[in-house]
Amino acid sequence: MDLYEHQGKELFAKHGIPVPEGIVARTAEEARAATEQLGSKSVVKVQVQIGGRGKSGGIKIVGSAADAADAAAVMLEGGFKGMKVTRVLVEEQLPIEAEFYIAITLDRAAGDFLAMVSSEGGMDIEEVARTKPGALRRRHIDPLLGMHSYQARFLTEGLPADARTGAAEVLVKLYNLLKASDATLVEVNPLVLLADGRVVALDAKVTIDDSALVRQPELAELADSFPVDPTEARAKKAGLQYVKLEGEVGIIGNGAGLVMSTLDVVAQAGGRAANFLDIGGGASAESMATSLEVILSDPAVRSVLINVFGGITRCDLVASGILEALKRVEAKVPLVVRLDGTNAEEGRKILADADHERIIPKPTMLEAASEAARLAGVN
């Protein structure tokens, strides 16, 4: 669960991490009043669960309450990168001397946490790692031992001398927050050194482990404040493994590995996947029908690729599920179907006998992906 910036900063403050004074505003007038309270100038920041705000107009430095109201109105009424915006964060302007990057994330491959500090803040950390690897320090943290002060000192040695002590203190407190909140990521970009020598978290990105929300009731309640994609909500209610993506080709497969491979093949064919949807290893006709209903409810989908390799899943049941779904919902886009494995011939015959105008069978995954991409109008 990704928190809004202001929610992350509330967690920061509880753990003693310095943050700017800020006020959440849900209307343009509230943004105006907040700016007046902060001294007639402020920074207005859109609150969404994605990055890249600064480069896309999601952060505005304003010099008056009227300008703050105007900036908030644009964000609240126009949304951000296609996402609905329900609030903005209005913060005090600070005299910044230098910007840094600091983060701790779960390293699943290593089975521990990875702490990172860079002297290059306010930039994409991937770009820093690629172009200036010497500017990024890393250290693995054993979750049984925790973070020690000597590790924090090592990580912050590349920062200006007057920022190291404050940054090291923030780093230790971030680790304590991560452990206490069952977070998988805490990131500050940028962490800033102010003219008066203080080190302050100018941003906050916090991701909470969904599986741990049962022991984090206060954080679990925050989920009610996030806008819910209706397609994702429908999939979750049906118990499906579904992730919304930004493309036009709807994807249904059985097994996470096959679905991931299908996404890759669609990209190879020049298409863009609209989702990840795994119907599981023992999918029934009912689950197949529900999955197709979910995919077809997404207005961004221009074609659907159903890629099933029968093992536990029987292809004849999948075929029956497809036809059952088409009785429940009107398919306005073509369905490209590739069946292979257990009872594949029976499944193909069921679809052939149905002779449905929207169903297009293909024998191989690459042919199916190419056809789905073509029908989506992207190649």
Residue 164, domain CATH: 3.30.470.20
Q: What is the C-alpha to C-alpha distance for residues 150 and 159, in angstroms, rounded to an integer? A: 15
Kindly report the CATH number assigned to the domain that includes residue 54. 3.30.1490.20
Low-confidence ranges of the chain (pLDDT < 70): 281-285, 378-379
Which tokens in the block code for residue 319?
């075929």
Claim to verify: residue 244 and residue 360 sit in the same structural domain: yes
Kindly report the CATH number assigned to the domain that includes residue 251. 3.40.50.261
339: number of Cβ within 10 Å: 29
Q: What is the C-alpha to C-alpha distance for residues 287 and 118, in angstroms, rounded to an integer? A: 47
Claim to verify: residue 112 and residue 211 sit in the same structural domain: yes
- Final residue in a domain of this structure, among 91, 114, 145: 91
What pLDDT does residue 312 have? 78
What pLDDT does residue 256 have? 86
Claim to verify: residue 167 and residue 249 sit in the same structural domain: no
Cβ(360)–Cβ(334) below 8 Å: yes
- Final residue in a domain of this structure, among 91, 117, 137: 91
Cβ(4)–Cβ(49) below 8 Å: yes
Claim to verify: residue 252 and residue 351 sit in the same structural domain: yes
Task: Tell me how many domains the chain contains.
Answer: 3
Residues labelled as active-site residues: 101, 187
What pLDDT does residue 341 have? 92
What pLDDT does residue 58 have? 95
Cβ(17)–Cβ(201) below 8 Å: yes
Claim to verify: residue 158 and residue 206 sit in the same structural domain: yes
Claim to verify: residue 109 and residue 171 sit in the same structural domain: yes
Claim to verify: residue 184 and residue 250 sit in the same structural domain: no
Claim to verify: residue 115 and residue 178 sit in the same structural domain: yes
Claim to verify: residue 57 and residue 100 sit in the same structural domain: no
Claim to verify: residue 198 and residue 294 sit in the same structural domain: no
C-alpha triplet 224, 88, 187: angle, nearest 5° = 75
**Greatest alpha-carbon span in the chain:** 77
Residue 14: inside a domain: no
pLDDT in tens, 92-122: 999 999 999 999 999 999 999 999 999 988 7
Length of the chain: 379
Cβ(116)–Cβ(137) below 8 Å: yes
Claim to verify: residue 107 and residue 220 sit in the same structural domain: yes
- Final residue in a domain of this structure, among 207, 224, 241: 224
C-alpha triplet 211, 214, 215: angle, nearest 5° = 105
What pLDDT does residue 284 have? 63
- What's the pTM value of the predicted model, to 2 decimals? 0.73
Which tokens in the block code for residue 53?
């705000």
Claim to verify: residue 171 and residue 199 sit in the same structural domain: yes
Residue 363: inside a domain: yes
Show the domain range for 29: 21-91
Residue 160: inside a domain: yes
